[in-house]
Copies of this chain bind each other. A is one copy, B any other.
Amino acid sequence: MIATLLALVIAAPAHADTLVDNVNGITLDQQGKVVRFTGLVIDEDGKVKQLLDRKDKRPERPDFKEDGKGRTLIPGLIDAHGHVMGLGLSLMTLDLSETRSLDEALAAIRKYAADNPDMPWIIGRGWNQEKWGLGRFPTAADIDAVEAARPVWLERVDGHAGWANSAAMAAAKITAATKAPEGGRIETAGGKPSGVFVDAAAALIDAARPKPLARDLDRAFLLAQAKLIEQGITAIADMGTTIEDWQAYRRAGDRRQLTVRILSYGHDVGDMALIAGPEPTPWLYDDRLRMVGVKLYLDGALGSRGAWLKAPYADAPGQKGLPLLTPAQLRNKMVRASMDRFQVAIHAIGDAANAEALDAIADLNADLPGERRWRIEHAQIVDPADIPRFKQLGVIASMQPIHQPSDRLMAEARLGPERLKGAYAWRSLENAGVRLAFGSDVPVESANPFPGIAAAISRTDAAGQPFGGWHPEEAVSRESALDGFTRTAAYAAFAEDRLGTLMPGMRADFLIVDSDPLLASPDEIRRMTPLETWIGGSRYYRKKGG
Protein backbone atom coordinates (compact mmCIF):
# COMPACT_ATOMS: atom_id res chain seq x y z
CA MET A 1 0.00 0.00 0.00
CA ILE A 2 2.70 2.45 0.99
CA ALA A 3 4.72 1.59 -2.10
CA THR A 4 1.71 2.39 -4.27
CA LEU A 5 1.20 5.72 -2.56
CA LEU A 6 4.80 6.72 -3.03
CA ALA A 7 4.77 5.71 -6.66
CA LEU A 8 1.79 7.98 -7.25
CA VAL A 9 3.53 11.09 -6.08
CA ILE A 10 6.47 10.61 -8.40
CA ALA A 11 5.42 12.60 -11.42
CA ALA A 12 6.87 12.75 -14.86
CA PRO A 13 9.23 15.72 -14.68
CA ALA A 14 7.99 18.99 -16.12
CA HIS A 15 9.88 19.99 -19.23
CA ALA A 16 10.39 23.27 -20.95
CA ASP A 17 8.03 22.34 -23.78
CA THR A 18 6.02 19.13 -23.94
CA LEU A 19 4.22 17.98 -27.08
CA VAL A 20 1.39 15.48 -26.73
CA ASP A 21 0.70 14.52 -30.30
CA ASN A 22 -1.50 12.24 -32.36
CA VAL A 23 -4.56 12.46 -30.12
CA ASN A 24 -8.29 12.71 -30.67
CA GLY A 25 -8.38 15.86 -28.58
CA ILE A 26 -11.58 17.40 -27.23
CA THR A 27 -12.13 20.45 -25.06
CA LEU A 28 -14.74 23.12 -24.64
CA ASP A 29 -13.64 26.66 -25.26
CA GLN A 30 -14.39 29.51 -22.84
CA GLN A 31 -17.86 29.88 -24.39
CA GLY A 32 -18.64 26.17 -24.10
CA LYS A 33 -18.20 25.31 -27.77
CA VAL A 34 -16.52 22.01 -28.60
CA VAL A 35 -12.98 22.35 -29.96
CA ARG A 36 -11.20 19.35 -31.47
CA PHE A 37 -7.46 19.08 -31.88
CA THR A 38 -4.76 16.51 -32.57
CA GLY A 39 -1.82 17.92 -30.63
CA LEU A 40 -1.25 19.79 -27.40
CA VAL A 41 1.81 21.88 -26.52
CA ILE A 42 2.46 22.43 -22.82
CA ASP A 43 4.81 25.10 -21.48
CA GLU A 44 7.31 24.82 -18.64
CA ASP A 45 4.74 26.05 -16.11
CA GLY A 46 2.46 23.14 -16.97
CA LYS A 47 0.02 25.33 -18.86
CA VAL A 48 -1.44 24.79 -22.30
CA LYS A 49 0.61 26.74 -24.80
CA GLN A 50 -1.08 25.73 -28.02
CA LEU A 51 -3.71 23.41 -29.45
CA LEU A 52 -2.67 21.92 -32.77
CA ASP A 53 -4.83 20.93 -35.67
CA ARG A 54 -3.82 18.10 -37.97
CA LYS A 55 -2.37 20.56 -40.45
CA ASP A 56 -0.53 22.73 -37.90
CA LYS A 57 3.23 22.68 -37.80
CA ARG A 58 4.64 20.87 -34.74
CA PRO A 59 7.32 22.50 -32.52
CA GLU A 60 10.62 21.44 -33.99
CA ARG A 61 12.38 20.26 -30.88
CA PRO A 62 10.05 19.77 -27.92
CA ASP A 63 11.89 18.78 -24.78
CA PHE A 64 9.50 15.91 -24.28
CA LYS A 65 7.23 14.26 -26.79
CA GLU A 66 4.37 11.89 -26.05
CA ASP A 67 2.63 9.89 -28.75
CA GLY A 68 -1.10 9.66 -28.02
CA LYS A 69 -1.44 6.83 -30.55
CA GLY A 70 -4.73 8.19 -31.74
CA ARG A 71 -6.44 7.83 -28.41
CA THR A 72 -8.94 10.34 -27.05
CA LEU A 73 -7.75 13.22 -24.88
CA ILE A 74 -10.27 15.16 -22.79
CA PRO A 75 -9.91 17.83 -20.09
CA GLY A 76 -9.33 16.58 -16.58
CA LEU A 77 -12.72 16.16 -14.95
CA ILE A 78 -13.71 18.37 -12.03
CA ASP A 79 -15.97 17.01 -9.33
CA ALA A 80 -18.04 20.02 -8.28
CA HIS A 81 -19.19 18.43 -5.03
CA GLY A 82 -17.31 15.83 -3.03
CA HIS A 83 -15.81 15.12 0.37
CA VAL A 84 -12.13 14.37 -0.05
CA MET A 85 -11.39 13.28 3.49
CA GLY A 86 -14.65 11.32 3.68
CA LEU A 87 -13.48 9.37 0.64
CA GLY A 88 -10.06 8.79 2.14
CA LEU A 89 -11.37 7.64 5.50
CA SER A 90 -13.85 5.30 3.80
CA LEU A 91 -10.96 3.80 1.81
CA MET A 92 -9.19 3.01 5.07
CA THR A 93 -12.09 1.02 6.49
CA LEU A 94 -12.75 -2.68 6.16
CA ASP A 95 -14.95 -3.47 3.16
CA LEU A 96 -17.24 -6.45 3.79
CA SER A 97 -19.45 -5.95 0.73
CA GLU A 98 -17.95 -8.92 -1.12
CA THR A 99 -18.29 -11.41 1.73
CA ARG A 100 -20.64 -14.29 1.08
CA SER A 101 -20.97 -15.74 4.57
CA LEU A 102 -20.59 -14.80 8.19
CA ASP A 103 -17.44 -16.91 8.29
CA GLU A 104 -15.93 -15.00 5.38
CA ALA A 105 -16.77 -11.74 7.13
CA LEU A 106 -15.16 -12.91 10.37
CA ALA A 107 -12.05 -14.01 8.51
CA ALA A 108 -11.88 -10.59 6.86
CA ILE A 109 -12.22 -8.85 10.24
CA ARG A 110 -9.46 -11.01 11.72
CA LYS A 111 -7.13 -10.27 8.81
CA TYR A 112 -7.85 -6.53 8.80
CA ALA A 113 -7.26 -6.34 12.56
CA ALA A 114 -3.93 -8.15 12.16
CA ASP A 115 -2.93 -5.85 9.26
CA ASN A 116 -3.74 -2.73 11.28
CA PRO A 117 -2.32 -3.32 14.74
CA ASP A 118 -2.17 0.41 15.60
CA MET A 119 -5.77 1.27 14.84
CA PRO A 120 -7.64 1.97 18.06
CA TRP A 121 -10.98 0.95 16.51
CA ILE A 122 -11.72 -1.40 13.61
CA ILE A 123 -14.24 0.35 11.36
CA GLY A 124 -15.95 -1.34 8.44
CA ARG A 125 -18.98 -1.40 6.19
CA GLY A 126 -20.91 -3.33 3.60
CA TRP A 127 -22.18 -6.43 5.46
CA ASN A 128 -25.52 -7.97 4.54
CA GLN A 129 -26.85 -10.90 6.53
CA GLU A 130 -29.43 -11.61 3.79
CA LYS A 131 -26.68 -12.24 1.26
CA TRP A 132 -24.99 -14.54 3.78
CA GLY A 133 -28.19 -16.59 4.17
CA LEU A 134 -27.73 -16.21 7.91
CA GLY A 135 -31.44 -16.02 8.82
CA ARG A 136 -30.63 -13.62 11.70
CA PHE A 137 -28.64 -10.50 12.50
CA PRO A 138 -25.02 -11.19 13.41
CA THR A 139 -24.02 -10.57 17.06
CA ALA A 140 -21.30 -8.99 19.11
CA ALA A 141 -20.25 -12.47 20.21
CA ASP A 142 -19.59 -13.39 16.58
CA ILE A 143 -16.98 -10.64 16.32
CA ASP A 144 -15.63 -11.19 19.82
CA ALA A 145 -14.43 -14.60 18.69
CA VAL A 146 -12.00 -12.96 16.22
CA GLU A 147 -11.38 -9.53 17.81
CA ALA A 148 -12.27 -8.91 21.41
CA ALA A 149 -9.56 -6.47 22.51
CA ARG A 150 -10.32 -3.51 20.27
CA PRO A 151 -13.76 -2.05 19.49
CA VAL A 152 -15.14 -3.18 16.13
CA TRP A 153 -17.96 -1.24 14.45
CA LEU A 154 -19.33 -2.26 11.06
CA GLU A 155 -21.99 -0.46 9.04
CA ARG A 156 -24.58 -2.50 7.17
CA VAL A 157 -24.60 -2.23 3.35
CA ASP A 158 -27.57 0.16 3.37
CA GLY A 159 -26.18 2.41 6.09
CA HIS A 160 -29.24 1.75 8.23
CA ALA A 161 -27.69 -0.46 10.89
CA GLY A 162 -24.36 -1.03 12.60
CA TRP A 163 -22.83 -4.16 14.10
CA ALA A 164 -20.60 -3.78 17.16
CA ASN A 165 -18.48 -6.15 19.21
CA SER A 166 -18.53 -6.16 23.00
CA ALA A 167 -15.54 -3.81 23.24
CA ALA A 168 -17.34 -1.21 21.12
CA MET A 169 -20.47 -1.51 23.28
CA ALA A 170 -18.35 -1.18 26.41
CA ALA A 171 -16.59 1.89 25.00
CA ALA A 172 -20.00 3.43 24.33
CA LYS A 173 -21.20 2.38 27.80
CA ILE A 174 -24.08 0.37 26.34
CA THR A 175 -25.85 -1.83 28.90
CA ALA A 176 -29.13 -3.68 29.14
CA ALA A 177 -30.54 -0.46 30.55
CA THR A 178 -29.57 1.65 27.51
CA LYS A 179 -32.63 2.98 25.70
CA ALA A 180 -32.66 3.44 21.93
CA PRO A 181 -33.18 7.06 20.87
CA GLU A 182 -36.27 8.01 18.87
CA GLY A 183 -36.03 6.64 15.36
CA GLY A 184 -33.65 3.89 16.45
CA ARG A 185 -33.74 0.31 17.73
CA ILE A 186 -31.27 -1.80 19.70
CA GLU A 187 -31.41 -5.49 18.81
CA THR A 188 -31.44 -7.72 21.89
CA ALA A 189 -30.80 -11.33 22.83
CA GLY A 190 -31.74 -12.63 26.25
CA GLY A 191 -32.74 -9.11 27.30
CA LYS A 192 -29.30 -7.67 26.51
CA PRO A 193 -28.09 -5.72 23.49
CA SER A 194 -26.96 -8.30 20.93
CA GLY A 195 -24.64 -6.02 18.95
CA VAL A 196 -26.78 -4.58 16.15
CA PHE A 197 -27.96 -0.98 16.38
CA VAL A 198 -30.61 0.12 13.87
CA ASP A 199 -31.03 3.60 12.38
CA ALA A 200 -30.76 6.37 14.98
CA ALA A 201 -29.45 3.92 17.61
CA ALA A 202 -26.18 3.66 15.66
CA ALA A 203 -25.33 7.14 16.94
CA LEU A 204 -24.84 5.64 20.40
CA ILE A 205 -21.76 3.80 19.19
CA ASP A 206 -20.63 6.50 16.75
CA ALA A 207 -20.36 8.96 19.63
CA ALA A 208 -17.71 6.79 21.28
CA ARG A 209 -15.48 6.49 18.21
CA PRO A 210 -12.18 8.31 18.56
CA LYS A 211 -11.49 11.13 16.15
CA PRO A 212 -8.90 10.19 13.53
CA LEU A 213 -5.33 11.24 14.32
CA ALA A 214 -3.38 13.54 12.03
CA ARG A 215 -1.42 10.57 10.71
CA ASP A 216 -4.69 8.82 9.82
CA LEU A 217 -5.86 11.91 7.98
CA ASP A 218 -2.56 12.09 6.10
CA ARG A 219 -2.91 8.48 5.01
CA ALA A 220 -6.59 8.95 4.16
CA PHE A 221 -5.78 11.97 2.05
CA LEU A 222 -3.15 10.15 -0.02
CA LEU A 223 -5.55 7.25 -0.56
CA ALA A 224 -8.31 9.63 -1.64
CA GLN A 225 -6.02 11.52 -3.96
CA ALA A 226 -4.80 8.33 -5.61
CA LYS A 227 -8.39 7.14 -6.07
CA LEU A 228 -9.54 10.44 -7.56
CA ILE A 229 -6.67 10.63 -10.02
CA GLU A 230 -7.18 7.02 -11.05
CA GLN A 231 -10.80 7.87 -11.77
CA GLY A 232 -9.96 10.90 -13.87
CA ILE A 233 -10.76 13.61 -11.31
CA THR A 234 -8.06 16.28 -11.52
CA ALA A 235 -9.85 18.84 -9.33
CA ILE A 236 -12.58 18.55 -6.73
CA ALA A 237 -14.70 20.96 -4.74
CA ASP A 238 -14.33 19.80 -1.14
CA MET A 239 -17.68 20.59 0.41
CA GLY A 240 -17.23 21.20 4.11
CA THR A 241 -13.50 21.33 4.85
CA THR A 242 -12.72 21.26 8.58
CA ILE A 243 -9.57 22.72 10.09
CA GLU A 244 -8.26 19.16 10.54
CA ASP A 245 -8.91 18.37 6.86
CA TRP A 246 -7.26 21.61 5.77
CA GLN A 247 -4.15 20.97 7.83
CA ALA A 248 -3.80 17.57 6.16
CA TYR A 249 -4.11 19.17 2.72
CA ARG A 250 -1.47 21.71 3.68
CA ARG A 251 0.85 19.04 5.01
CA ALA A 252 0.56 17.28 1.67
CA GLY A 253 1.23 20.56 -0.13
CA ASP A 254 4.16 21.46 2.10
CA ARG A 255 5.70 18.05 1.43
CA ARG A 256 5.08 18.28 -2.34
CA GLN A 257 2.61 15.41 -2.21
CA LEU A 258 -0.47 17.41 -3.21
CA THR A 259 -1.37 16.50 -6.76
CA VAL A 260 -5.14 16.76 -7.17
CA ARG A 261 -6.55 20.28 -7.06
CA ILE A 262 -8.80 21.03 -4.10
CA LEU A 263 -11.34 23.83 -4.27
CA SER A 264 -12.26 24.09 -0.64
CA TYR A 265 -15.48 25.26 1.01
CA GLY A 266 -15.21 25.61 4.78
CA HIS A 267 -17.37 23.54 7.09
CA ASP A 268 -19.69 26.38 8.13
CA VAL A 269 -18.38 29.85 8.89
CA GLY A 270 -16.35 28.79 11.94
CA ASP A 271 -13.93 26.57 10.06
CA MET A 272 -14.03 28.95 7.10
CA ALA A 273 -12.76 31.85 9.20
CA LEU A 274 -10.27 29.77 11.15
CA ILE A 275 -8.81 28.37 7.95
CA ALA A 276 -8.86 31.32 5.59
CA GLY A 277 -9.13 34.32 7.89
CA PRO A 278 -10.48 37.60 6.54
CA GLU A 279 -10.83 36.57 2.89
CA PRO A 280 -10.48 33.57 0.58
CA THR A 281 -6.95 32.20 0.51
CA PRO A 282 -4.69 32.76 -2.46
CA TRP A 283 -4.21 29.84 -4.80
CA LEU A 284 -1.58 27.70 -3.11
CA TYR A 285 0.90 25.11 -4.38
CA ASP A 286 0.66 25.97 -8.09
CA ASP A 287 -3.14 26.14 -8.06
CA ARG A 288 -3.49 22.89 -6.10
CA LEU A 289 -5.39 24.31 -3.12
CA ARG A 290 -7.61 27.26 -2.37
CA MET A 291 -10.35 28.00 0.13
CA VAL A 292 -12.90 29.90 -1.90
CA GLY A 293 -16.07 29.72 0.17
CA VAL A 294 -18.26 28.15 2.77
CA LYS A 295 -20.65 25.22 2.81
CA LEU A 296 -23.90 25.68 4.75
CA TYR A 297 -26.40 22.91 5.43
CA LEU A 298 -30.01 23.98 5.10
CA ASP A 299 -31.66 20.55 5.21
CA GLY A 300 -30.94 16.81 5.27
CA ALA A 301 -31.33 13.99 2.74
CA LEU A 302 -34.30 12.50 0.98
CA GLY A 303 -33.67 8.87 1.96
CA SER A 304 -33.84 9.57 5.67
CA ARG A 305 -36.70 12.07 5.14
CA GLY A 306 -34.44 14.88 6.33
CA ALA A 307 -34.98 16.86 3.12
CA TRP A 308 -37.28 19.81 3.82
CA LEU A 309 -40.37 19.64 1.59
CA LYS A 310 -43.18 22.09 0.92
CA ALA A 311 -45.79 19.31 1.27
CA PRO A 312 -45.60 16.11 3.35
CA TYR A 313 -43.68 13.04 2.24
CA ALA A 314 -45.82 10.73 0.10
CA ASP A 315 -44.74 7.78 2.23
CA ALA A 316 -44.87 9.56 5.62
CA PRO A 317 -47.89 11.84 5.52
CA GLY A 318 -47.21 13.70 8.74
CA GLN A 319 -43.62 14.61 7.86
CA LYS A 320 -42.13 17.41 5.78
CA GLY A 321 -38.55 17.33 7.03
CA LEU A 322 -37.05 20.32 8.79
CA PRO A 323 -34.76 23.24 8.04
CA LEU A 324 -31.46 22.98 9.90
CA LEU A 325 -31.10 26.76 10.09
CA THR A 326 -33.62 29.45 10.99
CA PRO A 327 -34.13 32.19 8.39
CA ALA A 328 -32.06 34.55 10.51
CA GLN A 329 -29.25 32.04 11.03
CA LEU A 330 -29.04 31.29 7.32
CA ARG A 331 -28.95 34.95 6.35
CA ASN A 332 -26.47 35.85 9.06
CA LYS A 333 -24.06 33.18 7.90
CA MET A 334 -24.51 34.19 4.28
CA VAL A 335 -23.81 37.84 5.09
CA ARG A 336 -20.84 37.06 7.29
CA ALA A 337 -19.21 34.97 4.55
CA SER A 338 -20.13 37.28 1.70
CA MET A 339 -18.93 40.47 3.38
CA ASP A 340 -15.51 38.85 3.48
CA ARG A 341 -15.89 37.80 -0.18
CA PHE A 342 -16.28 34.10 0.53
CA GLN A 343 -18.54 32.24 -1.90
CA VAL A 344 -21.59 30.62 -0.32
CA ALA A 345 -22.68 27.07 -1.19
CA ILE A 346 -25.97 26.03 0.39
CA HIS A 347 -26.95 22.40 0.73
CA ALA A 348 -30.65 22.26 -0.23
CA ILE A 349 -32.32 19.00 -1.23
CA GLY A 350 -36.06 19.43 -0.61
CA ASP A 351 -38.23 21.89 -2.53
CA ALA A 352 -38.86 23.95 0.62
CA ALA A 353 -35.12 24.16 1.30
CA ASN A 354 -34.46 25.25 -2.28
CA ALA A 355 -37.19 27.89 -2.08
CA GLU A 356 -35.82 29.19 1.23
CA ALA A 357 -32.28 29.32 -0.13
CA LEU A 358 -33.56 31.30 -3.11
CA ASP A 359 -35.57 33.59 -0.81
CA ALA A 360 -32.48 34.27 1.27
CA ILE A 361 -30.43 35.02 -1.82
CA ALA A 362 -33.16 37.36 -3.06
CA ASP A 363 -33.15 39.13 0.30
CA LEU A 364 -29.39 39.70 0.25
CA ASN A 365 -28.36 39.91 -3.39
CA ALA A 366 -28.66 43.67 -3.79
CA ASP A 367 -26.76 44.64 -0.68
CA LEU A 368 -23.66 42.47 -1.00
CA PRO A 369 -20.47 43.44 -2.75
CA GLY A 370 -18.81 41.82 -5.75
CA GLU A 371 -19.73 38.83 -7.83
CA ARG A 372 -21.28 36.26 -5.56
CA ARG A 373 -21.89 33.14 -7.70
CA TRP A 374 -24.27 31.67 -5.14
CA ARG A 375 -24.36 27.89 -5.29
CA ILE A 376 -27.16 25.59 -4.29
CA GLU A 377 -25.75 22.15 -3.64
CA HIS A 378 -27.89 19.19 -4.82
CA ALA A 379 -30.96 21.27 -5.85
CA GLN A 380 -32.52 17.86 -5.95
CA ILE A 381 -36.22 18.54 -5.54
CA VAL A 382 -37.17 21.97 -6.87
CA ASP A 383 -40.70 23.33 -7.23
CA PRO A 384 -40.96 23.98 -11.00
CA ALA A 385 -42.18 27.48 -10.10
CA ASP A 386 -38.81 28.14 -8.45
CA ILE A 387 -36.68 27.04 -11.41
CA PRO A 388 -36.64 30.43 -13.17
CA ARG A 389 -35.49 32.06 -9.94
CA PHE A 390 -32.11 30.29 -10.14
CA LYS A 391 -31.40 32.24 -13.31
CA GLN A 392 -32.91 35.50 -12.07
CA LEU A 393 -30.80 35.41 -8.92
CA GLY A 394 -27.59 34.21 -10.57
CA VAL A 395 -27.55 30.89 -8.72
CA ILE A 396 -25.43 27.97 -9.88
CA ALA A 397 -27.11 24.56 -9.57
CA SER A 398 -24.47 22.13 -8.30
CA MET A 399 -25.93 18.70 -8.98
CA GLN A 400 -24.85 15.08 -8.92
CA PRO A 401 -26.26 13.17 -11.91
CA ILE A 402 -25.48 9.75 -10.41
CA HIS A 403 -27.95 10.42 -7.59
CA GLN A 404 -30.79 10.15 -10.09
CA PRO A 405 -30.40 6.44 -10.95
CA SER A 406 -29.34 5.68 -7.36
CA ASP A 407 -32.36 7.42 -5.85
CA ARG A 408 -35.00 6.66 -8.45
CA LEU A 409 -37.18 4.14 -6.60
CA MET A 410 -36.69 5.85 -3.26
CA ALA A 411 -37.54 9.24 -4.72
CA GLU A 412 -40.71 7.89 -6.29
CA ALA A 413 -41.77 6.52 -2.91
CA ARG A 414 -40.90 9.68 -0.98
CA LEU A 415 -42.36 12.18 -3.42
CA GLY A 416 -45.20 10.54 -5.35
CA PRO A 417 -45.63 11.22 -9.07
CA GLU A 418 -46.49 14.92 -9.12
CA ARG A 419 -43.37 16.31 -7.49
CA LEU A 420 -41.06 14.30 -9.74
CA LYS A 421 -41.43 17.06 -12.33
CA GLY A 422 -38.90 19.14 -10.44
CA ALA A 423 -36.72 16.22 -9.31
CA TYR A 424 -33.16 15.97 -10.68
CA ALA A 425 -34.45 18.44 -13.26
CA TRP A 426 -31.21 19.13 -15.08
CA ARG A 427 -32.65 19.98 -18.46
CA SER A 428 -35.37 22.23 -17.05
CA LEU A 429 -32.75 24.19 -15.16
CA GLU A 430 -30.51 24.35 -18.23
CA ASN A 431 -33.41 25.49 -20.40
CA ALA A 432 -34.10 28.22 -17.88
CA GLY A 433 -30.55 29.47 -18.45
CA VAL A 434 -29.10 28.15 -15.20
CA ARG A 435 -25.45 27.07 -15.04
CA LEU A 436 -25.12 23.38 -14.12
CA ALA A 437 -22.03 22.16 -12.27
CA PHE A 438 -21.81 18.40 -11.92
CA GLY A 439 -20.24 16.27 -9.21
CA SER A 440 -20.50 12.95 -7.40
CA ASP A 441 -21.05 13.66 -3.68
CA VAL A 442 -18.27 11.11 -3.06
CA PRO A 443 -18.16 9.07 -0.77
CA VAL A 444 -21.98 8.93 -0.78
CA GLU A 445 -21.50 7.77 -4.37
CA SER A 446 -18.34 6.60 -6.12
CA ALA A 447 -16.16 9.44 -7.38
CA ASN A 448 -16.09 7.82 -10.81
CA PRO A 449 -17.47 10.57 -13.05
CA PHE A 450 -18.21 8.40 -16.08
CA PRO A 451 -21.38 6.74 -14.71
CA GLY A 452 -22.44 10.28 -13.82
CA ILE A 453 -21.93 11.46 -17.38
CA ALA A 454 -23.83 8.41 -18.64
CA ALA A 455 -26.72 9.13 -16.25
CA ALA A 456 -26.74 12.79 -17.25
CA ILE A 457 -27.27 11.98 -20.92
CA SER A 458 -29.51 8.91 -20.55
CA ARG A 459 -31.33 8.98 -17.19
CA THR A 460 -30.59 5.25 -16.93
CA ASP A 461 -28.82 3.15 -14.31
CA ALA A 462 -25.91 0.72 -14.62
CA ALA A 463 -28.24 -1.90 -16.08
CA GLY A 464 -29.57 0.58 -18.62
CA GLN A 465 -32.84 0.78 -16.69
CA PRO A 466 -35.44 2.04 -17.09
CA PHE A 467 -35.43 1.48 -20.80
CA GLY A 468 -35.50 4.84 -22.58
CA GLY A 469 -34.64 6.67 -19.36
CA TRP A 470 -36.48 7.93 -16.28
CA HIS A 471 -38.18 11.21 -17.15
CA PRO A 472 -35.86 11.29 -20.18
CA GLU A 473 -36.89 14.86 -20.98
CA GLU A 474 -34.53 15.91 -18.17
CA ALA A 475 -31.45 14.35 -19.80
CA VAL A 476 -28.83 16.79 -21.08
CA SER A 477 -26.59 16.66 -24.14
CA ARG A 478 -23.15 15.09 -24.07
CA GLU A 479 -21.67 18.54 -24.44
CA SER A 480 -23.62 19.80 -21.44
CA ALA A 481 -22.57 16.80 -19.37
CA LEU A 482 -18.92 17.40 -20.25
CA ASP A 483 -19.40 21.09 -19.54
CA GLY A 484 -20.86 20.35 -16.09
CA PHE A 485 -17.82 18.26 -15.18
CA THR A 486 -15.27 20.68 -16.63
CA ARG A 487 -15.89 24.28 -17.64
CA THR A 488 -18.86 25.08 -15.41
CA ALA A 489 -17.46 23.09 -12.49
CA ALA A 490 -14.45 25.43 -12.70
CA TYR A 491 -16.62 28.52 -13.09
CA ALA A 492 -18.65 27.44 -10.08
CA ALA A 493 -15.51 27.73 -7.94
CA PHE A 494 -14.12 30.94 -9.46
CA ALA A 495 -11.48 28.83 -11.23
CA GLU A 496 -12.40 29.34 -14.88
CA ASP A 497 -9.32 31.50 -15.40
CA ARG A 498 -7.07 28.48 -14.91
CA LEU A 499 -9.05 25.23 -14.91
CA GLY A 500 -11.84 23.48 -16.79
CA THR A 501 -10.80 23.80 -20.42
CA LEU A 502 -7.65 23.13 -22.42
CA MET A 503 -7.53 26.53 -24.09
CA PRO A 504 -4.11 28.26 -24.16
CA GLY A 505 -3.08 29.63 -20.77
CA MET A 506 -5.05 27.08 -18.80
CA ARG A 507 -3.44 24.42 -16.61
CA ALA A 508 -2.73 21.31 -18.71
CA ASP A 509 -4.95 18.91 -16.75
CA PHE A 510 -6.19 16.15 -19.02
CA LEU A 511 -7.05 12.49 -19.41
CA ILE A 512 -6.25 9.93 -22.06
CA VAL A 513 -9.39 7.78 -22.23
CA ASP A 514 -10.43 4.66 -24.06
CA SER A 515 -13.32 6.11 -26.06
CA ASP A 516 -14.73 9.40 -27.30
CA PRO A 517 -17.39 10.59 -24.86
CA LEU A 518 -19.09 12.64 -27.55
CA LEU A 519 -19.56 9.54 -29.70
CA ALA A 520 -19.73 6.53 -27.35
CA SER A 521 -22.98 4.98 -26.16
CA PRO A 522 -24.13 5.70 -22.61
CA ASP A 523 -23.12 2.17 -21.70
CA GLU A 524 -19.64 2.65 -23.15
CA ILE A 525 -19.31 5.95 -21.34
CA ARG A 526 -20.36 4.33 -18.08
CA ARG A 527 -17.50 1.84 -18.47
CA MET A 528 -14.92 4.38 -19.66
CA THR A 529 -11.73 4.60 -17.64
CA PRO A 530 -8.77 6.94 -17.78
CA LEU A 531 -5.71 5.34 -19.32
CA GLU A 532 -3.63 8.29 -18.15
CA THR A 533 -4.21 11.29 -15.91
CA TRP A 534 -2.09 14.42 -16.35
CA ILE A 535 -2.17 17.40 -14.02
CA GLY A 536 -0.30 20.61 -14.71
CA GLY A 537 1.46 19.00 -17.66
CA SER A 538 2.83 16.04 -15.72
CA ARG A 539 1.53 12.49 -15.83
CA TYR A 540 0.45 11.22 -12.40
CA TYR A 541 -1.37 8.05 -13.38
CA ARG A 542 -1.10 5.43 -16.07
CA LYS A 543 -3.41 2.45 -16.10
CA LYS A 544 -1.65 -0.88 -15.88
CA GLY A 545 -1.45 -2.23 -19.43
CA GLY A 546 -3.13 0.99 -20.65
Contact = CB atoms under 8 A, between A and B. Distances in A.
Given A254-B282, A282-B254, A284-B254, A277 B243 contact: no
A247 B255 CA distance: 18
Which label, helix, strand, loop or mixed, suits the secondary structure of the A interface? helix
B277 A214 contact: yes
A252 to B, nearest CB: 10
A332 to B, nearest CB: 16
Contacts of A243: 243, 274
A274 B251 CA distance: 11
A365 interface: no
B281 A254 contact: yes
A248 interface: yes
Contacts of A255: 282
A536 to B, nearest CB: 19
Interface string A246-287: 011011001100000000000000000111111001101000
B218 A247 contact: no
Given A282-B254, A282-B255, A244 B214 contact: no
Contact of A218 (B215, B217, B278): B278
Contacts of A281: 251, 254
Contact of A214 (B248, B250, B254, B278): B278
A218 B250 CA distance: 19
Most chain B beta-carbon neighbours within 10 Å: one of A254, A255, A282: A254
A278 B274 CA distance: 20
Interface in A406-448: none
A287 to B, nearest CB: 13
Interface string A120-159: 0000000000000000000000000000000000000000
A213 B278 contact: yes
Nearest to A277: B214
Q: For A215, A250, A255, A277, which residue has the most chain B Cβ atoms within 10 angstroms? A: A277
A278 B215 contact: yes
Interface string A214-228: 110110000000000
Chain A interface size band reads 20 to 34
A218 B279 CA distance: 11
Nearest to A248: B277
Contacts of A250: 250
Contacts of A248: 277
A274 B244 contact: yes
A505 B143 CA distance: 59
A213 B340 CA distance: 12
Interface string A467-488: 0000000000000000000000
Contacts of A278: 213-215, 218
A69 to B, nearest CB: 40
A274 B247 CA distance: 7
A251 to B, nearest CB: 5
A217 B281 CA distance: 15
A251 B276 CA distance: 8
Contact of A247 (B214, B215, B254, B275): B275
Contacts of A244: 274
A267 B219 CA distance: 25
A49 to B, nearest CB: 27
Contacts of A218: 277-278
B284 A214 contact: no
Contacts of A282: 254-255
A255 B213 CA distance: 29
Contacts of A275: 247
A509 B248 CA distance: 32
Contacts of A274: 214, 243-244, 247
Nearest to A283: B254
26 contacts: A213-B273, A213-B278, A214-B273, A214-B274, A214-B276, A214-B277, A214-B278, A215-B277, A215-B278, A217-B277, A218-B277, A218-B278, A243-B243, A243-B274, A244-B274, A247-B274, A247-B275, A247-B277, A248-B277, A250-B250, A251-B277, A251-B281, A254-B281, A254-B282, A254-B284, A255-B282
Interface of A: 213-215, 217-218, 243-244, 247-248, 250-251, 254-255, 273-278, 281-282, 284
Given A213-B278, A215-B278, A218-B277, 9 more contacts: A214-B274, A214-B277, A217-B277, A218-B278, A243-B274, A247-B277, A250-B250, A251-B277, A254-B281
The 6 closest A-B pairs by CB, nearest first: A214-B277, A215-B278, A214-B278, A251-B277, A254-B282, A214-B273
